[in-house]
Homo-oligomer: A and B are copies of this chain.
Amino acid sequence: MTYRILDASALQNWLVERPDLSGRLGSPAAEWTIREVSDGNLNTVFLISGPAGALCCKQALPHVRVAPDWPMPLERALYESRYMRAVAPAVTGLMPELFAYDADLFLLVMECLTEHEVLRSALIADRARPGFSTVIGSYVARTVQATGWVSQPFETGAHLLEQFSGNTALTRITVDLILTDPYRVCDRNPEPETGLRDDVKALQNDQVLHRAVGRLQDRFLTARQALLHGDLHTGSIMLDDGDVRVIDGEFATMGPIGFDCGLYLGNLALHLCAAPHKAAALRAEMLAFWQSFSTEMRSSLRNGTGDQWTLSGSDMRQELIEVFLSEVLHDTAGFCGLEMIRRTVGFAQVADYGLCHTEEARLLARQKALQIGRTLIVEGASLRSFNALLSLMGL
Protein backbone atom coordinates (compact mmCIF):
# COMPACT_ATOMS: atom_id res chain seq x y z
CA MET A 1 0.00 0.00 0.00
CA THR A 2 1.47 3.36 -0.97
CA TYR A 3 1.72 6.35 1.33
CA ARG A 4 -1.29 8.57 1.81
CA ILE A 5 -2.25 10.92 4.61
CA LEU A 6 -4.77 9.15 6.81
CA ASP A 7 -7.77 10.98 8.19
CA ALA A 8 -9.85 9.49 11.00
CA SER A 9 -12.02 7.28 8.80
CA ALA A 10 -9.15 6.05 6.62
CA LEU A 11 -7.27 5.16 9.78
CA GLN A 12 -10.29 3.27 11.10
CA ASN A 13 -10.51 1.26 7.85
CA TRP A 14 -6.82 0.48 7.98
CA LEU A 15 -7.04 -0.73 11.58
CA VAL A 16 -9.98 -3.00 10.75
CA GLU A 17 -7.71 -4.85 8.31
CA ARG A 18 -5.11 -5.41 11.05
CA PRO A 19 -6.59 -7.90 13.53
CA ASP A 20 -3.42 -7.81 15.66
CA LEU A 21 -4.20 -4.13 16.31
CA SER A 22 -7.99 -3.96 16.12
CA GLY A 23 -8.12 -6.85 18.61
CA ARG A 24 -6.68 -4.47 21.17
CA LEU A 25 -9.60 -2.10 20.56
CA GLY A 26 -12.33 -4.73 20.61
CA SER A 27 -15.35 -4.99 18.34
CA PRO A 28 -17.58 -3.74 16.95
CA ALA A 29 -15.51 -1.11 15.11
CA ALA A 30 -18.64 1.03 14.94
CA GLU A 31 -18.17 1.67 18.64
CA TRP A 32 -14.62 3.00 18.27
CA THR A 33 -14.09 6.70 18.90
CA ILE A 34 -11.24 8.46 17.09
CA ARG A 35 -9.87 11.80 18.23
CA GLU A 36 -7.09 13.82 16.55
CA VAL A 37 -4.70 15.24 19.16
CA SER A 38 -1.84 16.48 16.93
CA ASP A 39 0.15 18.76 19.18
CA GLY A 40 3.83 18.68 18.18
CA ASN A 41 5.27 20.53 15.22
CA LEU A 42 5.70 17.66 12.80
CA ASN A 43 3.12 14.86 12.76
CA THR A 44 -0.54 13.92 13.04
CA VAL A 45 -1.59 11.93 16.08
CA PHE A 46 -4.89 10.08 16.63
CA LEU A 47 -6.16 8.38 19.77
CA ILE A 48 -8.59 5.51 19.13
CA SER A 49 -10.69 3.95 21.89
CA GLY A 50 -12.81 0.82 21.63
CA PRO A 51 -14.67 -1.51 23.97
CA ALA A 52 -11.51 -3.41 24.89
CA GLY A 53 -8.81 -0.77 24.87
CA ALA A 54 -7.13 2.15 23.14
CA LEU A 55 -4.33 2.88 20.65
CA CYS A 56 -2.24 5.90 19.72
CA CYS A 57 -1.45 6.30 16.01
CA LYS A 58 1.23 8.74 14.86
CA GLN A 59 1.79 9.39 11.17
CA ALA A 60 4.57 11.42 9.56
CA LEU A 61 3.49 14.12 7.11
CA PRO A 62 5.59 15.06 4.10
CA HIS A 63 5.99 18.55 5.55
CA VAL A 64 6.21 20.27 8.94
CA ARG A 65 2.65 20.12 10.30
CA VAL A 66 2.71 23.71 11.53
CA ALA A 67 4.57 25.01 8.43
CA PRO A 68 3.23 23.18 5.36
CA ASP A 69 5.68 24.87 2.98
CA TRP A 70 8.64 23.35 4.91
CA PRO A 71 9.08 19.87 3.37
CA MET A 72 10.17 17.09 5.73
CA PRO A 73 11.07 13.53 4.66
CA LEU A 74 8.71 10.85 5.93
CA GLU A 75 11.59 8.62 7.07
CA ARG A 76 11.57 10.24 10.51
CA ALA A 77 8.84 7.76 11.47
CA LEU A 78 11.20 4.92 10.55
CA TYR A 79 13.88 6.35 12.83
CA GLU A 80 11.40 6.78 15.67
CA SER A 81 10.37 3.15 15.34
CA ARG A 82 14.03 2.08 15.27
CA TYR A 83 14.71 4.17 18.37
CA MET A 84 11.82 2.64 20.27
CA ARG A 85 12.92 -0.86 19.35
CA ALA A 86 16.57 -0.16 20.18
CA VAL A 87 15.95 1.15 23.70
CA ALA A 88 12.65 -0.52 24.69
CA PRO A 89 14.20 -3.52 26.49
CA ALA A 90 16.27 -1.12 28.64
CA VAL A 91 13.43 1.26 29.55
CA THR A 92 10.40 -0.99 29.95
CA GLY A 93 7.59 0.99 31.54
CA LEU A 94 9.25 4.35 30.81
CA MET A 95 8.12 4.56 27.18
CA PRO A 96 4.82 3.73 25.49
CA GLU A 97 4.91 0.24 24.02
CA LEU A 98 5.26 0.12 20.22
CA PHE A 99 2.74 -2.34 18.76
CA ALA A 100 3.41 -1.85 15.06
CA TYR A 101 5.24 0.25 12.52
CA ASP A 102 3.90 0.46 8.97
CA ALA A 103 6.78 1.23 6.62
CA ASP A 104 4.54 2.30 3.72
CA LEU A 105 2.32 4.66 5.68
CA PHE A 106 5.16 5.86 7.94
CA LEU A 107 2.76 5.15 10.78
CA LEU A 108 3.50 4.14 14.37
CA VAL A 109 0.83 2.35 16.43
CA MET A 110 1.54 2.58 20.14
CA GLU A 111 0.16 2.18 23.62
CA CYS A 112 -2.30 4.99 24.33
CA LEU A 113 -1.47 7.16 27.33
CA THR A 114 -5.01 8.43 27.89
CA GLU A 115 -4.58 9.54 31.47
CA HIS A 116 -1.20 11.11 30.95
CA GLU A 117 -0.41 14.78 30.56
CA VAL A 118 2.56 16.42 28.83
CA LEU A 119 5.13 17.40 31.48
CA ARG A 120 5.44 20.95 30.13
CA SER A 121 1.68 21.54 30.54
CA ALA A 122 1.71 19.93 33.97
CA LEU A 123 4.56 22.20 35.06
CA ILE A 124 2.79 25.27 33.73
CA ALA A 125 -0.42 24.27 35.53
CA ASP A 126 1.61 23.45 38.63
CA ARG A 127 0.29 19.92 38.98
CA ALA A 128 3.35 17.78 38.17
CA ARG A 129 3.94 15.37 41.02
CA PRO A 130 7.51 15.96 42.30
CA GLY A 131 10.19 13.37 41.58
CA PHE A 132 9.58 12.89 37.85
CA SER A 133 13.21 13.89 37.21
CA THR A 134 14.47 10.83 39.05
CA VAL A 135 12.76 8.74 36.38
CA ILE A 136 14.21 10.81 33.54
CA GLY A 137 17.74 10.56 34.97
CA SER A 138 17.29 6.81 35.12
CA TYR A 139 15.86 6.74 31.59
CA VAL A 140 18.92 8.48 30.15
CA ALA A 141 21.36 6.27 32.08
CA ARG A 142 19.57 3.12 30.90
CA THR A 143 19.56 4.15 27.24
CA VAL A 144 23.29 4.85 27.54
CA GLN A 145 23.87 1.44 29.08
CA ALA A 146 21.96 -0.22 26.23
CA THR A 147 23.78 1.62 23.47
CA GLY A 148 27.18 2.86 24.72
CA TRP A 149 30.67 1.43 24.20
CA VAL A 150 31.53 0.70 27.83
CA SER A 151 28.55 -1.59 28.32
CA GLN A 152 28.19 -3.19 24.89
CA PRO A 153 30.55 -4.88 22.41
CA PHE A 154 31.64 -2.26 19.89
CA GLU A 155 29.59 -3.92 17.16
CA THR A 156 26.42 -2.68 18.92
CA GLY A 157 27.47 0.96 18.63
CA ALA A 158 28.70 0.41 15.08
CA HIS A 159 25.32 -1.04 14.12
CA LEU A 160 23.52 1.91 15.71
CA LEU A 161 25.75 4.34 13.80
CA GLU A 162 24.79 2.50 10.62
CA GLN A 163 21.09 2.53 11.52
CA PHE A 164 20.71 6.13 12.72
CA SER A 165 23.24 8.24 10.82
CA GLY A 166 20.80 8.47 7.91
CA ASN A 167 18.39 10.46 10.09
CA THR A 168 19.80 13.62 8.54
CA ALA A 169 16.52 15.48 7.96
CA LEU A 170 15.85 15.81 11.69
CA THR A 171 19.51 16.15 12.66
CA ARG A 172 19.63 19.06 10.21
CA ILE A 173 16.93 20.71 12.33
CA THR A 174 19.11 20.27 15.44
CA VAL A 175 22.19 21.58 13.65
CA ASP A 176 20.32 24.63 12.40
CA LEU A 177 17.83 25.51 15.14
CA ILE A 178 19.90 24.63 18.21
CA LEU A 179 23.52 24.89 17.13
CA THR A 180 23.50 27.78 14.67
CA ASP A 181 20.48 30.00 13.98
CA PRO A 182 20.14 31.88 17.32
CA TYR A 183 23.67 33.24 16.83
CA ARG A 184 23.28 34.63 13.33
CA VAL A 185 20.83 36.65 11.26
CA CYS A 186 18.50 34.07 9.74
CA ASP A 187 15.03 34.09 8.16
CA ARG A 188 13.84 31.28 10.41
CA ASN A 189 14.38 33.37 13.53
CA PRO A 190 11.18 35.15 14.58
CA GLU A 191 11.27 38.93 14.99
CA PRO A 192 12.22 39.52 18.65
CA GLU A 193 10.00 41.64 20.86
CA THR A 194 11.22 45.24 21.02
CA GLY A 195 12.91 45.02 24.41
CA LEU A 196 14.91 41.95 23.37
CA ARG A 197 16.40 43.32 20.15
CA ASP A 198 19.70 44.37 21.68
CA ASP A 199 20.08 41.02 23.40
CA VAL A 200 19.50 39.19 20.12
CA LYS A 201 22.01 41.42 18.35
CA ALA A 202 24.50 40.75 21.16
CA LEU A 203 24.14 36.99 20.58
CA GLN A 204 24.94 37.52 16.92
CA ASN A 205 28.12 39.48 17.61
CA ASP A 206 29.61 37.69 20.60
CA GLN A 207 32.84 36.09 19.40
CA VAL A 208 33.62 34.43 22.72
CA LEU A 209 30.18 32.82 22.67
CA HIS A 210 30.58 31.80 19.03
CA ARG A 211 33.84 30.01 19.81
CA ALA A 212 32.18 28.11 22.66
CA VAL A 213 29.22 27.21 20.41
CA GLY A 214 31.77 26.03 17.84
CA ARG A 215 33.21 23.62 20.41
CA LEU A 216 29.70 22.29 21.12
CA GLN A 217 29.02 21.86 17.40
CA ASP A 218 32.19 19.76 17.38
CA ARG A 219 30.98 17.72 20.37
CA PHE A 220 27.52 17.12 18.87
CA LEU A 221 28.85 16.04 15.49
CA THR A 222 31.86 13.98 16.53
CA ALA A 223 31.33 12.62 20.08
CA ARG A 224 29.24 9.53 19.23
CA GLN A 225 28.95 8.14 22.75
CA ALA A 226 25.47 6.62 22.84
CA LEU A 227 22.07 6.60 21.14
CA LEU A 228 20.36 9.88 22.04
CA HIS A 229 16.66 10.55 22.24
CA GLY A 230 17.72 13.81 20.61
CA ASP A 231 14.77 16.00 21.67
CA LEU A 232 14.34 15.32 25.37
CA HIS A 233 12.46 18.45 26.40
CA THR A 234 9.49 18.66 28.78
CA GLY A 235 7.12 18.36 25.82
CA SER A 236 8.56 14.89 25.05
CA ILE A 237 7.64 13.54 28.47
CA MET A 238 4.18 12.53 29.73
CA LEU A 239 3.09 11.77 33.27
CA ASP A 240 0.17 10.43 35.20
CA ASP A 241 0.97 10.85 38.85
CA GLY A 242 4.10 8.81 39.34
CA ASP A 243 3.96 7.11 35.93
CA VAL A 244 6.48 8.89 33.67
CA ARG A 245 6.91 8.14 29.95
CA VAL A 246 9.27 9.44 27.30
CA ILE A 247 7.80 9.87 23.80
CA ASP A 248 8.78 11.28 20.39
CA GLY A 249 12.16 9.69 19.69
CA GLU A 250 12.24 10.72 16.03
CA PHE A 251 15.37 12.89 16.48
CA ALA A 252 17.36 9.83 17.57
CA THR A 253 21.04 9.87 16.63
CA MET A 254 24.32 8.66 18.12
CA GLY A 255 25.82 11.62 19.97
CA PRO A 256 27.19 13.06 23.21
CA ILE A 257 25.35 11.85 26.31
CA GLY A 258 25.27 15.40 27.69
CA PHE A 259 22.97 16.41 24.84
CA ASP A 260 19.97 14.54 26.26
CA CYS A 261 20.85 15.68 29.80
CA GLY A 262 21.32 19.29 28.73
CA LEU A 263 18.08 19.55 26.79
CA TYR A 264 16.11 18.17 29.71
CA LEU A 265 17.74 20.42 32.31
CA GLY A 266 17.54 23.38 29.95
CA ASN A 267 13.76 23.07 29.81
CA LEU A 268 13.52 22.95 33.60
CA ALA A 269 15.75 26.03 33.70
CA LEU A 270 13.52 27.82 31.19
CA HIS A 271 10.57 27.08 33.43
CA LEU A 272 12.57 28.48 36.33
CA CYS A 273 13.19 31.74 34.47
CA ALA A 274 9.46 32.08 33.77
CA ALA A 275 8.43 31.02 37.31
CA PRO A 276 11.27 32.04 39.65
CA HIS A 277 9.10 31.44 42.73
CA LYS A 278 9.40 27.71 42.00
CA ALA A 279 13.18 27.76 42.41
CA ALA A 280 13.30 25.33 45.33
CA ALA A 281 11.15 22.71 43.60
CA LEU A 282 13.03 23.02 40.31
CA ARG A 283 16.40 22.84 42.05
CA ALA A 284 15.22 19.64 43.72
CA GLU A 285 14.16 18.19 40.33
CA MET A 286 17.50 19.05 38.73
CA LEU A 287 19.41 17.51 41.59
CA ALA A 288 17.19 14.43 41.50
CA PHE A 289 17.85 14.08 37.77
CA TRP A 290 21.62 14.24 38.15
CA GLN A 291 21.63 12.04 41.22
CA SER A 292 19.71 9.22 39.60
CA PHE A 293 21.52 9.65 36.26
CA SER A 294 25.03 9.70 37.73
CA THR A 295 24.33 6.91 40.24
CA GLU A 296 23.05 4.53 37.55
CA MET A 297 25.84 5.61 35.19
CA ARG A 298 28.54 4.91 37.79
CA SER A 299 27.13 1.47 38.34
CA SER A 300 26.79 0.59 34.65
CA LEU A 301 30.22 2.05 33.81
CA ARG A 302 31.78 0.07 36.63
CA ASN A 303 30.21 -3.20 35.48
CA GLY A 304 30.27 -2.68 31.71
CA THR A 305 31.73 -5.54 29.67
CA GLY A 306 31.98 -3.68 26.36
CA ASP A 307 35.19 -3.11 24.41
CA GLN A 308 35.92 0.23 26.05
CA TRP A 309 37.87 -0.09 29.33
CA THR A 310 38.15 -3.91 29.10
CA LEU A 311 41.65 -3.74 30.54
CA SER A 312 40.56 -2.05 33.77
CA GLY A 313 38.52 -4.32 36.02
CA SER A 314 35.49 -2.95 37.83
CA ASP A 315 37.59 -2.10 40.89
CA MET A 316 40.10 -0.16 38.77
CA ARG A 317 37.73 2.12 36.92
CA GLN A 318 37.08 4.88 39.42
CA GLU A 319 39.32 7.47 37.78
CA LEU A 320 38.07 6.62 34.26
CA ILE A 321 34.48 6.92 35.46
CA GLU A 322 34.97 10.28 37.13
CA VAL A 323 36.74 11.76 34.09
CA PHE A 324 33.97 10.37 31.90
CA LEU A 325 31.19 11.86 34.04
CA SER A 326 32.95 15.19 34.30
CA GLU A 327 33.06 15.38 30.49
CA VAL A 328 29.35 14.53 30.40
CA LEU A 329 28.77 17.34 32.91
CA HIS A 330 30.63 19.82 30.71
CA ASP A 331 28.61 18.80 27.67
CA THR A 332 25.42 18.90 29.72
CA ALA A 333 26.07 22.49 30.79
CA GLY A 334 26.84 23.59 27.23
CA PHE A 335 23.83 21.94 25.59
CA CYS A 336 21.62 23.17 28.43
CA GLY A 337 22.74 26.70 27.61
CA LEU A 338 22.12 26.21 23.89
CA GLU A 339 18.60 24.93 24.57
CA MET A 340 17.79 27.87 26.85
CA ILE A 341 18.84 30.38 24.22
CA ARG A 342 17.19 28.73 21.23
CA ARG A 343 13.88 28.22 23.05
CA THR A 344 13.93 31.91 24.04
CA VAL A 345 14.77 33.62 20.74
CA GLY A 346 14.72 30.86 18.10
CA PHE A 347 12.18 29.22 15.81
CA ALA A 348 10.42 26.98 18.35
CA GLN A 349 9.97 28.80 21.65
CA VAL A 350 8.42 27.51 24.86
CA ALA A 351 4.97 28.13 26.30
CA ASP A 352 6.43 28.47 29.79
CA TYR A 353 6.95 32.21 29.23
CA GLY A 354 3.15 32.52 29.22
CA LEU A 355 3.39 32.22 33.00
CA CYS A 356 4.78 35.76 33.17
CA HIS A 357 1.87 38.05 33.95
CA THR A 358 3.28 41.25 32.48
CA GLU A 359 5.24 42.08 29.36
CA GLU A 360 8.02 43.39 31.57
CA ALA A 361 8.18 40.20 33.61
CA ARG A 362 8.34 38.18 30.39
CA LEU A 363 11.15 40.33 29.05
CA LEU A 364 13.10 39.93 32.29
CA ALA A 365 12.50 36.18 32.23
CA ARG A 366 13.79 35.93 28.67
CA GLN A 367 16.82 38.07 29.43
CA LYS A 368 17.60 35.93 32.41
CA ALA A 369 17.40 32.78 30.25
CA LEU A 370 19.75 34.30 27.68
CA GLN A 371 22.21 35.33 30.37
CA ILE A 372 22.22 31.93 32.08
CA GLY A 373 22.40 30.20 28.71
CA ARG A 374 25.44 32.22 27.65
CA THR A 375 27.21 31.57 30.96
CA LEU A 376 26.59 27.82 30.70
CA ILE A 377 27.89 27.71 27.14
CA VAL A 378 31.00 29.76 27.83
CA GLU A 379 31.90 28.42 31.28
CA GLY A 380 30.37 24.93 31.15
CA ALA A 381 33.61 23.19 30.17
CA SER A 382 35.32 24.23 33.39
CA LEU A 383 32.62 23.11 35.85
CA ARG A 384 33.82 20.81 38.61
CA SER A 385 30.52 19.62 40.05
CA PHE A 386 26.80 19.56 39.41
CA ASN A 387 26.36 22.01 42.26
CA ALA A 388 28.59 24.45 40.40
CA LEU A 389 26.21 24.11 37.44
CA LEU A 390 23.27 24.93 39.71
CA SER A 391 25.19 27.94 41.01
CA LEU A 392 25.56 29.27 37.47
CA MET A 393 21.75 29.14 37.30
CA GLY A 394 21.52 31.09 40.56
CA LEU A 395 20.29 27.97 42.39
Q: How far is the CB of A386 from chain B (nearest CB, A)?
A: 22
Q: Which one of A13-21, A62-70, A162-170, A278-286 is at the B interface?
A: A162-170
Number of copies: 2
Q: Are A165 and B175 in contact (CB under 8 A)?
A: no
Q: How far is the CB of A393 from chain B (nearest CB, A)?
A: 24
Q: How far is the CB of A220 from chain B (nearest CB, A)?
A: 9
**Per-position binary interface string of chain A over residues 322-356, scored 1 when its CB falls under 8 Å from any chain B CB and 0 otherwise:** 01100000000000000000000000000000000
Task: Give Cα A311 to B183, complex, Å.
Answer: 7
**Per-position binary interface string of chain A over residues 211-231, scored 1 when its CB falls under 8 Å from any chain B CB and 0 otherwise:** 101110110011111000000
Q: Are A319 and B211 in contact (CB under 8 A)?
A: yes
| Interface check A312, CB cutoff 8 A | yes
Task: Give Cα A320 to B208, complex, Å.
Answer: 11
Q: Give every chain B residue within 8 A of A172 (Cβ-Cβ).
A: 154-155
Q: Give every chain B residue within 8 A of A217 (Cβ-Cβ).
A: 149, 307-310
**Per-position binary interface string of chain A over residues 186-214, scored 1 when its CB falls under 8 Å from any chain B CB and 0 otherwise:** 00000000000000000000010011011
Q: Are B310 and A180 in contact (CB under 8 A)?
A: yes
Task: Give Cα A206 to B179, complex, Å.
Answer: 42
Task: Give Cα A309 to B220, complex, Å.
Answer: 12
| Interface check A157, CB cutoff 8 A | yes
Contacts A158-B166, A161-B224, A218-B308 aside, 5 further interface pairs with beta carbons under 8 A come to A161-B162, A165-B165, A179-B307, A184-B310, A223-B223
Report the 4 A-B pairs with minimum CB-CB distance, sorted nearest first.
Answer: A161-B165, A210-B311, A162-B165, A214-B309
